[in-house]
Chains A and B, each alone.
Chain A
């Protein structure tokens, strides 16, 4: 499962990097979203992958899932959500003010 998760993170990151380097605002926003998905998954996995183990102390359990990465990833998700909303509004504003959706405000050559 570790291999599968790392492949997913890798694919998400590379898609994110590729899209972030595009010239139009919509792919850039999508790319930033992919990057934040990748990093959220990465943070979660940093607590090691476990199945069926509780994050809080319980009777008769020996292994525990690390609760801290889950808390961290929750914070990161909220922040990236807010940032995505902001950057979408900003991209719309740029589109309206500059008349096109190029990140430099230029027309397609």
Chain B
């Protein structure tokens, strides 16, 4: 009976999505309450799962009771549940911001939001490569529509690029899946791991091709260096709440890289062992550099945050690219931090942009914003978080990654690039902060219309900021429970690098009662 908890994070958003679609003529308040309830129930379910899997147990759920490797199987191990927890927490905060008004700009915001969660949660839980493709498509189709939510020329342009590049990515995914099935006759990831390790020599070249094709698809989703160009404009022009949700979407690519290249093409994969080891670390370092150059060159705050997301993917994959337990554990600690920080930053940039009249979030002197001290403090905190300065969680994440890199032969490169880019982030943050808050002019010097918005009441302001503060508190929680979380991520990394447990618990499953 207990096993059914595994499917709850997948089935729940689907059911709520359908329910919200049926209730489309009801008032927006009803939809908001339902949508938030759905996310909270998911968080409860995921926390329950976390309690079970943190002991090291791996739960499997055979859909329709078709036994793996023939049926589709959902697998909840430490990594999957950790990603689920981060995704549901971020989506609660994004939703908390969206219900302030952005959700009313289109009819189906909440439906799409739940379906996006359906795709995300499914992608984290599935143990089947083709099923992963299907969940990718679900989350992408929802994200295409969410990206365009609210309409506007710039959104359409960014959306078109995003859709086309992802459709090409999906085609590549299918080619890779086809090659693997044609050679090995299975798509179950655990079964693939066994079959890749015992493959015959004449298949090795094609299997490596398929593995690298898959890597290019995941690199596209994660926005790794040559394939990152879709991210900045997509994340810059979409609505803030959606951008905050998308902060977890680019981490799906990083998750898939970690999962597939430790399980199927990991150290035990025989002829295809450590397939991407030579690629991942250099590409991650280059992504970090490009991301920071974008941060420095940005002309407005949202764009700067979008490039910070690119840079954080670089840092994260440096951790994964080290291919050691310590490196992966550090990456898994940095992952929630970077997600929370990016989401908080997107939301904060939007609240600031709303208060600067026609200057929006451009880095040009604008009017003095209402509640400037409050926003200044929030900006300072988020900037410290993003730049990775002590005492907040960004510092610990980066420190852990550097510490894990100490025995690595490429240490000088990693140290130099991570530290110099941190310095540049700091410079960029200081520059944008001083432009937004210090070089502001009193209202009567600015060309502003008479219809200047009245500053909101404390109550309205509190509601607006609750999500940002929530995300900041989550980062602080990462700091306070840092010891426990580090132990957990270390255990996760060890579990990932010894995939025998995963393989045994999938292929040796008994019938679910």
- Chain A residues proximal to chain B, CB less than 8 Å: 16, 20, 25, 28, 32, 35-36, 38-39, 42-43, 45-48, 68-69, 72, 75-76, 79-80, 82-83, 86-87, 90-91, 93-94, 97-98, 103-105
Chain B residue contacts of A20, Cβ below 8 A: 164, 168
Q: How far is the CB of A53 from chain B (nearest CB, A)?
A: 17
Chain B residue contacts of A36, Cβ below 8 A: 167, 171
* B137-A79 in contact (CB<8A): yes
Partner of A76, one of B141, B174, B179, B182: B174
Q: How far is the CB of A41 from chain B (nearest CB, A)?
A: 10
* B134-A75 in contact (CB<8A): yes
Query: Apart from A83-B170, A98-B156, what are 4 other A-B pairs with CB-CB below 8 Å?
Result: A48-B182, A86-B141, A87-B164, A98-B153
User: CA separation between A90 and B162, bound complex, in Å?
Assistant: 11
Does more than half of chain B's interface fall in helix, strand or loop, or is it mixed? Answer: helix
Partner of A87, one of B156, B167, B177: B167
Which residue of chain A has its CB nearest to the CB of B137?
A: A79
Chain A residue contacts of B394, Cβ below 8 A: none
Partner of B156, one of A48, A72, A83, A93: A93
User: CA separation between A96 and B165, bound complex, in Å?
Assistant: 21
User: CA separation between A35 and B177, bound complex, in Å?
Assistant: 15
Which residue of chain B has its CB nearest to the CB of A44?
A: B178
Chain A residue contacts of B5, Cβ below 8 A: none
Which residue of chain A has its CB nearest to the CB of B168?
A: A20
User: CA separation between A76 and B137, bound complex, in Å?
Assistant: 10
Count, A-B residue pairs, CB within 8 A: 81
* B178-A86 in contact (CB<8A): no
Number of B residues near A (Cβ < 8 Å) is 25
Which residue of chain B has its CB nearest to the CB of A69?
A: B181
Chain B residue contacts of A38, Cβ below 8 A: 171
User: CA separation between A36 and B133, bound complex, in Å?
Assistant: 14
CB within 8 Å of A: which B158-191 residues: 159-161, 163-164, 167-168, 170-171, 174-175, 177-179, 181-182
Interface residues as binary, B137-169 with A (CB distance below 8 Å gives 1, 0 otherwise): 100010010001000010011011101100110
Which residue of chain B has its CB nearest to the CB of A41?
A: B178
Q: How far is the CB of A81 from chain B (nearest CB, A)?
A: 11
* A25-B160 in contact (CB<8A): yes
* A82-B141 in contact (CB<8A): yes
- Chain B residues proximal to chain A, CB less than 8 Å: 130, 134, 137, 141, 144, 148, 153, 156-157, 159-161, 163-164, 167-168, 170-171, 174-175, 177-179, 181-182
* B164-A32 in contact (CB<8A): yes
Which residue of chain B has its CB nearest to the CB of A103?
A: B160
Partner of B168, one of A32, A42, A93: A32
Partner of A97, one of B153, B167, B175: B153
User: CA separation between A92 and B22, bound complex, in Å?
Assistant: 28
* B178-A46 in contact (CB<8A): yes
User: CA separation between A56 and B156, bound complex, in Å?
Assistant: 47
Q: How far is the CB of A5 from chain B (nearest CB, A)?
A: 13
* B164-A28 in contact (CB<8A): yes
Chain B residue contacts of A82, Cβ below 8 A: 141
10 contacts between A and B (CB under 8 A): A36-B167, A36-B171, A39-B174, A39-B178, A45-B182, A76-B174, A83-B141, A90-B160, A93-B148, A98-B153
User: CA separation between A77 and B174, bound complex, in Å?
Assistant: 11
Which residue of chain A has its CB nearest to the CB of B183?
A: A46
* B167-A83 in contact (CB<8A): yes
Chain A residue contacts of B171, Cβ below 8 A: 16, 32, 35-36, 38-39
* A35-B168 in contact (CB<8A): yes
Chain B residue contacts of A46, Cβ below 8 A: 178-179, 181-182
Chain A residue contacts of B148, Cβ below 8 A: 90, 93
Chain A residue contacts of B160, Cβ below 8 A: 25, 90-91, 94, 103
User: CA separation between A32 and B160, bound complex, in Å?
Assistant: 13
Which residue of chain B has its CB nearest to the CB of A91?
A: B160
* A43-B178 in contact (CB<8A): yes
User: CA separation between A47 and B87, bound complex, in Å?
Assistant: 37
User: CA separation between A93 and B156, bound complex, in Å?
Assistant: 7
Chain A residue contacts of B178, Cβ below 8 A: 39, 42-43, 46, 69
Chain A residue contacts of B161, Cβ below 8 A: 103
* A32-B167 in contact (CB<8A): yes
User: CA separation between A72 and B175, bound complex, in Å?
Assistant: 12
Chain A residue contacts of B144, Cβ below 8 A: 86, 90
Once A46-B182, A98-B156 are accepted as A-B contacts, the answer to whether A72 and B130 lie under 8 Å apart by CB is yes
The 8 closest A-B pairs by CB, nearest first: A46-B182, A39-B174, A46-B178, A35-B171, A43-B178, A94-B156, A79-B137, A39-B171
User: CA separation between A86 and B164, bound complex, in Å?
Assistant: 11
Chain A residue contacts of B134, Cβ below 8 A: 75, 79
Q: How far is the CB of B188 from chain A (nearest CB, A)?
A: 11
